[in-house]
Structure 1
């Protein structure tokens, strides 16, 4: 099993991996495959750690993996030091949360840009204009200049948030007041310790905050927009720590690819005559697992 296949199997079956006890993981072919993927991925990560530790030459390319290893090495002997299991666990989180979710968001971005060629052209012209004003290739410091790229990325996250439900626990006794469909208000007491799940799509598609919420409109993120109604990274003190990494990675990939390639829907005889709505539904279909996962092939 390849590293890529193992990571894909785990990322789309993580809930099952967590839920199935050890004694039951060999009962079906599917659970055995998940267990094999977990073991293969762990072995790959162990080998990566050992190879980097035993390398005679220090890597010229300093990446996130190197930073994690160096930080662990610097803390040896202290309570803050990570053991090998913790180190590998952190590497897995970076792979799953930092790369898989960004990759899936890019897949949806490409599908949307193929479906909305006018938006793709607007993005291309923006990128072309910014790139022409730079002295060479863009750097991290230039990311804020690619406002249209970030708007497309944010709009994709609004429509297809990687995580659809965010668990929270009430830190104190509070009350929540919500509007009813008939225009009235209902108040709910929430005692301290109550588990609450935030339904992300419910907020992202709420017409009270978003005009034409089902439409792909990146320009909504170019002016003032309701920041408290946009929670793909959660909110508050326990919001996603990797947000900036996720944004930088996604915007960089989106910008460079759109600057060099035109994204179009692949015309296939079996889908001849389909309406825009049918094509949109086909190309943006997803599976809701631990994260929002697109199909492996989207026809672009």
Structure 2
């Protein structure tokens, strides 16, 4: 009798679980059906297994989704062309969320301009909160607070420091290059191979450390280690940056376990984050001490000054700091990440493209020679950045065109808060593939829908950039009396109120370095690509993988001293 009762109870439990599972499946199928019904009149109607703006999507991005499928990181404008529309529809499996992909400048402008209707997908940025909430991971009033504190630091005075430090660190790099060239010349090779990813990470880190945080990071030696910390500043920053994605996809419990038990990748990631925290705290402590002594803040650390000052005063609530200790650390990391890793990768693509287009190099060299007729300046005679930048319009256009083809962030995600109509376009393709018969259309998005701003798709959209949108043509970014380049179709620095506050910082550093590099050296593809066509060299050199930013993987060029 007891055995019978036990079996009956087990059966009841199994039946309950089965009924719950069946109910869940039915509800899930109904939700998917309704989601697809809501997008049935829009082109695309793709099915996404993973959210297109989450950690695992980035990790799997090189192989999944397969090429040519909805969500493919490498599809550029091809899917829009396939369906004849600048807006494509899809549904994400988990949550049955209707998701719309935009490559239309007018639709994207409407999204980025209306922050109350289209809010930031903050869930996607939670992984960047390893130190606390920061300017990248918040929205609404909290984001406005962070932005208001940091924005004044990005001014002309700061850009002058960027220009000065870029020239100083470039001279140190060029000195190393010349020594390598002398050694190679003795062996019969007038060139030297350069690993751009490694070199540019060091350069951009030195510039943001100096111009943003008053921390000098010499080329030939690392910063002194505070408090006997084993790991020095540069490897801590670079290692922490590379550990962002492993941190994103790791459950908190497993990440915490890796601090006690060695787990490959995760344990070292924790060590990088911990070491960087020590260095950032040392910088903060030094600034606080100077303020307490009445010496004020260093002029050469405008961003640090603003962040620390906000941390030392009370906000609206009594006893509450305007910027908490955690937020101060988190903002420092966010600016270090954006100020060195993102820019290093963007400059890598630009230099690789210059190696493929010697005719573009010639124009950059002519422009740089007019600015610096006596050669690249030393750090003592740098001049003012604004006057110099005005004379490097074509070089700036080269960097912008590289950003158009290879934006650091391929896509962004927004959450719809209220019913809205967005303008889009439909079109057809002629026999030669050219876009024809462009017609205005619209889509109706609803609360809870997801909007994917497809930056790569937008910036390769022939409707905005012409039928040669896949080609590298820096002249696109030079206005003439009859032509103005389409500002709304360029989102390399985002757009609207949330556009990148470091845009001028990045343009100043990149333009200065590119001009100086081309003035002194001829940039050539690696030897293993000799005898290949430009298209084959381009396919090899410009490979990239999704990560915290679009990351080049074949970042090697050769340099040869110009006569």
Which TM class, normalised by the smaller chain length? 0.7 to 0.9
Question: What TM-score comes out, normalization by structure 1 length?
Answer: 0.85
What residue number does 1:49 align with?
284
Is 1:215 the counterpart of 2:445? The answer is: no
Q: Secondary structure at the match of 1:63?
A: helix
Deviation at 1:200, TM superposition (A): 0.8
Contact 2:288/2:308 (<8 A) preserved: no
Deviation at 1:210, TM superposition (A): 1.9
What residue number does 1:145 align with?
391
Deviation at 1:52, TM superposition (A): 4.1
What residue number does 1:24 align with?
254
Deviation at 1:117, TM superposition (A): 1.1
Q: In structure 1, what is the Cα distance between the partners aligned to 2:394 and 2:353?
A: 14
Deviations 1:161-195 (A, max 9, x none): 00011122335421233415576776431124533
Moved more, 271-280 or 142-151: 271-280
Q: In structure 2, what is the Cα distance between the partners aligned to 1:229 and 1:181?
A: 20
Is 1:200 the counterpart of 2:430? The answer is: no
Deviation at 1:21, TM superposition (A): 2.2
Question: What TM-score comes out, normalization by structure 2 length?
Answer: 0.48
What residue number does 1:119 align with?
360
Q: In structure 1, what is the Cα distance between the partners aligned to 2:472 and 2:358?
A: 11
Contact 1:148/1:218 (<8 A) preserved: yes
Q: In structure 2, what is the Cα distance between the partners aligned to 1:7 and 1:287?
A: 21
Q: In structure 1, what is the Cα distance between the partners aligned to 2:352 and 2:453?
A: 27
Quickly say closer, same or farther: Cα 1:125–1:59, change in 2 above 3 A. farther
What is the number of equivalent residue pairs in this alignment? 296
What residue number does 1:169 align with?
415
Deviation at 1:296, TM superposition (A): 7.2
Q: Quote the RMSD (CA, aligned, Å).
A: 3.0
Is 1:108 the counterpart of 2:349? The answer is: yes
Matches within 5 A, 1:224-235: 224-235=484-495
Deviations 1:45-78 (A, max 9, x none): 22222244446887866134543355336x5234
Quickly say closer, same or farther: Cα 1:287–1:63, change in 2 above 3 A. same
Is 1:247 the counterpart of 2:493? The answer is: no
Deviations 1:62-118 (A, max 9, x none): 134543355336x52344632332211111111111222111111111111111111
Contact 2:246/2:265 (<8 A) preserved: no
Among 189, 195, 205, the alignment partner of 2:444 is: 189
Among 300, 303, 324, the alignment partner of 1:62 is: 300
Q: In structure 2, what is the Cα distance between the partners aligned to 1:296 and 1:273?
A: 18
Contact 2:541/2:554 (<8 A) preserved: no
Quickly say closer, same or farther: Cα 1:9–1:281, change in 2 above 3 A. farther
Is 1:72 the counterpart of 2:331? The answer is: no
Contact 1:13/1:290 (<8 A) preserved: no
Q: In structure 1, what is the Cα distance between the partners aligned to 2:281 and 2:554?
A: 27
Contact 2:287/2:308 (<8 A) preserved: no
Q: Secondary structure at the match of 1:279?
A: helix
Q: Which blocks of at least 5 consecutive residues in structure 1 are unaligned?
A: none
Q: Secondary structure at the match of 1:151?
A: helix
Tell which structure's C-alpha radius of gyration is larger. Answer: 2
Q: In structure 2, what is the Cα distance between the partners aligned to 1:231 and 1:174?
A: 22
Quickly say closer, same or farther: Cα 1:146–1:272, change in 2 above 3 A. closer
What residue number does 2:498 align with?
238
Q: In structure 2, what is the Cα distance between the partners aligned to 1:10 and 1:294?
A: 18
Moved more, 32-41 or 87-96: 32-41
Moved more, 250-259 or 141-150: 250-259
What residue number does 2:520 align with?
260
Q: In structure 2, what is the Cα distance between the partners aligned to 1:213 and 1:14?
A: 32
Q: In structure 1, what is the Cα distance between the partners aligned to 2:543 and 2:233?
A: 25
Is 1:81 the counterpart of 2:318? The answer is: no
Q: Secondary structure at the match of 2:506?
A: helix
Contact 1:11/1:291 (<8 A) preserved: no
